Chain A
Amino acid sequence: MNARLLSRLLTGLVLASFGAGAAQAAVELYKPGGANDPHLRAARFLGEDKRHFSALTELLKLQAESEGRPVAASQFPWLLADNYLSFGLRERADTVYRGMANAASSDPVQYGRAQLKLAQFEYTRGYLPEARATLLKMRDGLPSELLLEWQDLTARVLMAMGKDAEAVEVLTEPKNGSDQSDFTRYNLGVALLRDGRTEQGRTVLERVGNLDPTDRDSLALMDRANMTLGWNFLQNQQGAVARPLLRKVRVEGPYSNRALLGLGWAELTEDGKRARRANVNDGGDDRAADRFGSFSTLGVLLRRGLIEDDPVRQRTFRRIEGASDREEALKAALPAWLILVDRDPQDPAVQEAWLAIPYSLDQIGAHDQARAFYEQAVERLEVARKRTNLAIDALRTNRMVETIVKRDLDAESGWNWELKDLPDAPETYYLQTLLAEHRYAEALKNYRDVRLLARNLDAWDKRLSDMEKAYTTADRASVDPRMLFSQATEAKPVERPRIKIELRPESSLSPPGRYRKPLAGGAAVRPQLQLADAPKVQNFVGTYERIGQMRQRLASLRPSLARIGDEQGRYLQRLGTVELKAQKDQIEKYLVEARFALARLYDRQTGSNDPDEYEIKKK
């Protein structure tokens, strides 16, 4: 009898027994491990609800109850692997995916998407060679609908590995540039610049910088493209081309501080050569009206570059003697920098503006104003240094991480967890850049997960104790064996309906082996007997014993989890401390500069050196 027919019969029987019109649950049958299995459907909801740990537990229970047979539902391995990955269990997910690679039932697009998700995980967690291998492995036979996604991720992985030429190749072959997203085109522009193909890179970035924005993301992308391009021209002494690009960056936006700083410097740098463009010839629509103007060369004085690590700061500004309109350029630089003065005091661009303003004022002869701005800069930098020291101390006590993770402590979202906003603590204010980086965010996710599991095991400690206590103290009634017999036979089909089997206690039967009366009909033919090995003694394992086993496992797991949690916490502290120390070093360099400049100003007032003399000495 098939399941559907049986289901109909059951429904009919139940309805009949309660009479017509009675509200009664309809009964339907499901195949254990099939698509309608409640465990599976519950896991689907839990996974979608980003409760990956609970979803996995549900799926593993389903697997355990199938007693070694593969679970029938075709979606089971997908759900399992997806939740494994989402909870940060890459190795487990990879094993399940590999098992599906050759399965006839695998949909190539679904499989491809799963591989892309795996590679994305590997990329963000820092397993770059593994991410590259995953992506290259899926290149052959890649479904066409996944090509753009594959190109974008592969290029980002390769760029993170410093393989910019390979990234360019991935994004330009096949020639589908016009299909690629603006974000992918931005990455192509940057990869081309980093690979030394400057004109092509600039051409691609220029197009991204001239998009028709549709939302906040595309506006931010445009700003970023213009900021990157503007600074690229600036670093190549092409100030006149840099200026209009940097002006295009919105005054209120994530890149505005850097753009404003660059704009000031662009006013002071030589106009340089006219920009040239070169198409990448990859099918991308990078043609645009020539917005790069042509300019005469201006000789302007530039303050020497300060820091060598930030792309925005990798400058080779040089001093050009004899600039006729130097004073005009200095005056033109000031408005952009003045906007920066009262912005985020932790932003290096703002801190640099604190020094750039008095420098310009000094150069145009406004010495008193210059001194006042230098004094203000020293004051603000001292405050910044003090706050940085406090933040370093706070990091050592792990307060910041605790503040972040305690916000949604019970979220089981694992790898999908997102830090939505920052707690109002001084150290988080200083660590915004770091918090946005994959290496920190991913380490934070792991730290959260370990804390979640530690709390889960703490709860189990009590739950197991309650069960143990119930066995020893409570007057828990034992289950009637007849009821267990009925339960065991209830679901079984009746094979011999005439034979009624029932369980009853029998006290009058002899125990086996006591019956010694000779058998009738002569001597029995004794079969050849061979002694079997005595069965191994097996201890009975009931619920109580299993609770004991769980107790032992819990005792071994909890300290391991506590240890790894501490280790992960220390790793986060190290990352934070290195970042804060770098910021502190930067502030101290600025402080030295500001104090030195102030000393020069005071000296000059007392009739000592002139600035040019100082510059020569400093060289």
Chain B
Amino acid sequence: MLGLAPGATAWADAESDAALQLDQSIQVLKDEALQFNRDAQLVEEEFSYPPQTRVDVYVSVETAALLMRTISVSIDGSTPVNFDYSDFDARALLKSRGMQRIGRFNVSKGSHKLHAEYVGQYADAKDGEPELADRIDTVFDKTLLPATLELIVGKANRGGKPILRLKEWRPAP
């Protein structure tokens, strides 16, 4: 609400111009940093997770109003990769109907075991209501192409509790 005294107006105008010029310079550098990150990530993926061994594991939620609390994933008994959700993260996952990458692994060609567990709760759950949880032990077949696995938290049938299931995505030829 504080206005500017007349003497300060010229200063304010000059400062506004300087602020806009700075903003534009920052935009250019942000853009460069973004392009750098894109290219650097592609190189790193190629180096650390070559396509013939790469497995990306994602999680998504299909059940309405289900907020994730934790998820844990391991392949062939490796050290599990865990993610603890803030309320904001959980709502973002639900609302976006997108998927979140939980982990990236290197495995050889062939069949592999995947273990995953989740804990969640409905957004409108009352105090003391038990949390929802499920675990899955499954197998997937790794080819020489990158593997993309999606852990889906969703109901198997109407009225049932949300369970975990695994879907593998492959690019159409």
Binding site for B on A (CB under 8 A): 3, 6, 10, 14, 17-18, 22-32, 36, 38, 41-50, 53, 56-57, 60-61, 64, 87-92, 125-127, 308-312, 433, 439, 442-443, 446, 449-450, 453, 456-457, 460, 463-464, 467, 470, 479, 483-484, 486-487, 490-493, 543, 546-547, 550, 553-554, 557, 560-561, 564, 567-568, 571, 574-575, 578, 582
Q: How far is the CB of A457 from chain B (nearest CB, A)?
A: 7
User: Which B residues, 1 to 40, have Cβ-Cβ distances below 8 Å to chain A?
Assistant: 1-5, 8, 11, 15-16, 18-20, 22-27, 29-40
User: Which B residues, 25 to 62, have Cβ-Cβ distances below 8 Å to chain A?
Assistant: 25-27, 29-44, 46-48, 50-52, 56, 58, 60
Q: A23-B136, A50-B88 are in contact. List 9 more A-B contacts (CB 8 A).
A: A18-B111, A23-B139, A28-B169, A56-B34, A309-B3, A491-B173, A564-B25, A568-B26, A574-B15
* CA distance in complex: A492, B48 (Å): 25
Can you name 13 A-B residue pairings with CB atoms under 8 Å? Answer: A18-B139, A29-B171, A36-B169, A38-B169, A45-B92, A45-B96, A49-B96, A61-B38, A91-B24, A446-B22, A487-B51, A557-B36, A564-B22
* CA distance in complex: A574, B19 (Å): 11
Chain B residue with Cβ nearest A307: B5
Knowing A89-B27, A446-B26, the reply to whether A25 touches B138 (Cβ < 8 A) is yes
* CA distance in complex: A571, B136 (Å): 54
* CA distance in complex: A571, B20 (Å): 11
* CA distance in complex: A64, B35 (Å): 10
User: Which A residues are CB-close (under 8 A) to B31?
Assistant: 89, 92
Q: Which of B71-79, B142-150, B153-161 touches A?
A: B142-150
Pick the residue among B1, B15, B88, B136 that contacts A575 (CB under 8 A). Answer: B15
B8 x A578 contact (CB < 8 A) = yes
Knowing A550-B36, A575-B15, the reply to whether A14 touches B29 (Cβ < 8 A) is no
Knowing A61-B38, A126-B16, A490-B145, the reply to whether A547 touches B30 (Cβ < 8 A) is no
B35 x A60 contact (CB < 8 A) = yes
User: Which A residues are CB-close (under 8 A) to B137?
Assistant: 23
Chain B residue with Cβ nearest A22: B139
Chain A residue with Cβ nearest B59: A45
Pick the residue among A45, A90, A464 that contacts B40 (CB under 8 A). Answer: A464
Q: How far is the CB of B80 from chain A (nearest CB, A)?
A: 18
User: Which A residues are CB-close (under 8 A) to B2?
Assistant: 309-310, 433, 582
User: Which A residues are CB-close (under 8 A) to B101?
Assistant: 38, 42
* CA distance in complex: A26, B171 (Å): 14
B22 x A45 contact (CB < 8 A) = no
Q: Is B67 an interface residue (CB 8 A)?
A: no
Q: How far is the CB of A400 from chain B (nearest CB, A)?
A: 18
A38 x B56 contact (CB < 8 A) = yes
A309 x B29 contact (CB < 8 A) = no
* CA distance in complex: A41, B61 (Å): 12
Q: Is B105 an interface residue (CB 8 A)?
A: no
* CA distance in complex: A44, B56 (Å): 17
Task: Please name the 5 residue pairs, one residue from A and one from B, whose CB atoms are nearest each other, closest first.
Answer: A44-B98, A45-B98, A48-B96, A49-B92, A487-B144
User: Which B residues are CB-close (under 8 A) to A578?
Assistant: 8, 11
Q: How far is the CB of B19 from chain A (nearest CB, A)?
A: 6
User: Which B residues are CB-close (under 8 A) to A18?
Assistant: 111, 139
User: Which A residues are CB-close (under 8 A) to B5?
Assistant: 308-309, 582
B143 x A48 contact (CB < 8 A) = no
Knowing A45-B98, A49-B89, A491-B145, the reply to whether A29 touches B172 (Cβ < 8 A) is yes
Q: How far is the CB of B128 from chain A (nearest CB, A)?
A: 29
A57 x B144 contact (CB < 8 A) = no
A57 x B139 contact (CB < 8 A) = no
Q: How far is the CB of A346 from chain B (nearest CB, A)?
A: 12
Q: Tally of A-B residue pairs with Cβ under 8 A?
A: 236
User: Which B residues are CB-close (under 8 A) to A27?
Assistant: 167-170
- Secondary structure at chain A's binding surface: helix, strand, loop or mixed? helix
Pick the residue among A32, A47, A126, A442 that contacts B171 (CB under 8 A). Answer: A32
Pick the residue among B56, B139, B145 that contacts A487 (CB under 8 A). Answer: B145
User: Which B residues, 92 to 129, have Cβ-Cβ distances below 8 Å to chain A?
Assistant: 92-93, 95-101, 111, 114
User: Which A residues are CB-close (under 8 A) to B167?
Assistant: 25-28
Q: Is B166 an interface residue (CB 8 A)?
A: yes
Pick the residue among A483, A547, A554 that contacts B52 (CB under 8 A). Answer: A483
B138 x A53 contact (CB < 8 A) = no
A61 x B41 contact (CB < 8 A) = yes
User: Which A residues are CB-close (under 8 A) to B141?
Assistant: 14, 17, 25
Q: How far is the CB of A256 from chain B (nearest CB, A)?
A: 14
B171 x A30 contact (CB < 8 A) = yes
B138 x A554 contact (CB < 8 A) = no
Chain B residue with Cβ nearest A568: B22
A24 x B37 contact (CB < 8 A) = no
Pick the residue among B26, B40, B56 that contacts A449 (CB under 8 A). Answer: B26
Q: How far is the CB of A550 from chain B (nearest CB, A)?
A: 5
Pick the residue among A17, A36, A492, A571 that contacts B18 (CB under 8 A). Answer: A571
Chain A residue with Cβ nearest B166: A25
Knowing A41-B60, A564-B29, the reply to whether A467 touches B38 (Cβ < 8 A) is no
A64 x B23 contact (CB < 8 A) = no
Chain B residue with Cβ nearest A18: B139
* CA distance in complex: A256, B12 (Å): 29
User: Which A residues are CB-close (under 8 A) to B30?
Assistant: 87-89, 449, 453
* CA distance in complex: A487, B58 (Å): 23
User: Which A residues are CB-close (under 8 A) to B173?
Assistant: 6, 491-493
User: Which B residues are CB-close (under 8 A) to A41?
Assistant: 58, 60, 97-99
* CA distance in complex: A446, B114 (Å): 43
* CA distance in complex: A450, B31 (Å): 11
* CA distance in complex: A464, B25 (Å): 26
User: Which A residues are CB-close (under 8 A) to B50?
Assistant: 479
User: Which A residues are CB-close (under 8 A) to B4?
Assistant: 309
A24 x B169 contact (CB < 8 A) = no
Chain B residue with Cβ nearest A348: B2
B11 x A463 contact (CB < 8 A) = no
* CA distance in complex: A89, B23 (Å): 9
User: Which B residues are CB-close (under 8 A) to A28?
Assistant: 167-170
Pick the residue among A45, A311, A457 that contacts B99 (CB under 8 A). Answer: A45
Knowing A88-B27, A543-B47, the reply to whether A45 touches B93 (Cβ < 8 A) is yes
B23 x A312 contact (CB < 8 A) = no
Pick the residue among A45, A312, A450 that contacts B100 (CB under 8 A). Answer: A45
Q: How far is the CB of A382 from chain B (nearest CB, A)?
A: 23
Chain A residue with Cβ nearest B32: A557
Pick the residue among B33, B98, B168 that contacts A453 (CB under 8 A). Answer: B33
User: Which B residues are CB-close (under 8 A) to A553?
Assistant: 36, 39
* CA distance in complex: A29, B148 (Å): 11
A32 x B58 contact (CB < 8 A) = no
* CA distance in complex: A22, B113 (Å): 12
User: Which A residues are CB-close (under 8 A) to B139?
Assistant: 18, 22-25
A450 x B98 contact (CB < 8 A) = no
A88 x B26 contact (CB < 8 A) = yes
* CA distance in complex: A88, B33 (Å): 13
B25 x A42 contact (CB < 8 A) = no
Q: How far is the CB of B102 from chain A (nearest CB, A)?
A: 11
